[in-house]
């Protein structure tokens, strides 16, 4: 997950929360608190809150882990490990958001093919086609989301492109 993803998700959730809350209040005002519609409204708002809370926690944990020694390289970790103690495995840092090559679908596709080829001791055209189709679907979905991100919060992209790399 990139910072941009988190930013977009948090904004979308916050916005959805306040709008859903308004709807839930309006529904309660019209049908009464005991009505099934009111319960459904409250339940939807409560679940948005849950996701928002979990998301904020994930962001906090991610930013915390970005500032802990766990992100040192393996050689750094070995240097500071006391003799006799087993070195902690370094946390795999996410692909940098500013490196499009690292996130390109093609190397990931080839790697997946190779993994399947090695695991199964061969590969069929059908498997290759299915994997390619799944990659294509994911790519199209990603593109649509990126477009909506840009339409909804264009300034996030300006911030991302002007931030230091």
Partner 1 sequence: MVFDQSDFNELTRKAAEVTLQAADVPRLLRLRLGPEHELSKAAEEMLGRLETLVRELRSFHGIPETSPNDTVER
Residue 129 phi/psi, 5° resolution? Answer: -65, -40
Contact 148, 8 (CB under 8 A): no
Residues touching partner 1, count (CB under 8 A): 35
Site string for partner 1, 56-95 (x = CB under 8 A): --x-------------------------------------
**Binds partner 1 by CB under 8 A, chosen from 33, 54, 74, 98:** 54
Residue 51 sits in the site that holds partner 1 (CB under 8 A): yes
Contact 59, 10 (CB under 8 A): yes
> Which residue shows structure tokens 């994997």?
131
In angstroms, the CA 115 to CA 78 distance is: 30
Q: Which residue ranges make up the site for partner 1 (CB under 8 A)?
A: 1, 5, 8-9, 12-13, 15-16, 19-20, 22-23, 26-27, 30-32, 36-37, 40-41, 43-44, 47-48, 50-51, 54-55, 58, 138, 141-142, 145, 148
């Amino acid at each position: 997950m990139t910072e941009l993803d988190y930013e977009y998700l948090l904004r979308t959730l916050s916005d959805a929360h306040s709008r859903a809350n308004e709807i839930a209040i309006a529904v309660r005002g019209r049908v009464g608190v005991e009505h099934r519609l009111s319960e459904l409204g409250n339940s939807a708002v409560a679940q948005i809150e849950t996701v928002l809370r979990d998301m904020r926690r994930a962001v906090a944990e991610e930013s915390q882990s970005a500032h802990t020694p766990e992100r040192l390289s393996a050689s750094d970790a070995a240097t500071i490990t006391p003799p006799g103690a087993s070195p902690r495995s370094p946390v795999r840092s996410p692909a940098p958001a500013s490196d499009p090559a690292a996130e390109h679908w093609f190397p990931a596709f080839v790697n997946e093919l190779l993994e399947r080829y090695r695991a199964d001791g061969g590969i069929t055209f059908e498997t290759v086609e299915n994997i390619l189709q799944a990659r294509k679907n994911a790519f199209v979905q990603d593109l649509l989301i990126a477009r909506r991100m840009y339409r909804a919060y264009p300034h996030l992209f300006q911030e991302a492109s002007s931030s230091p790399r």
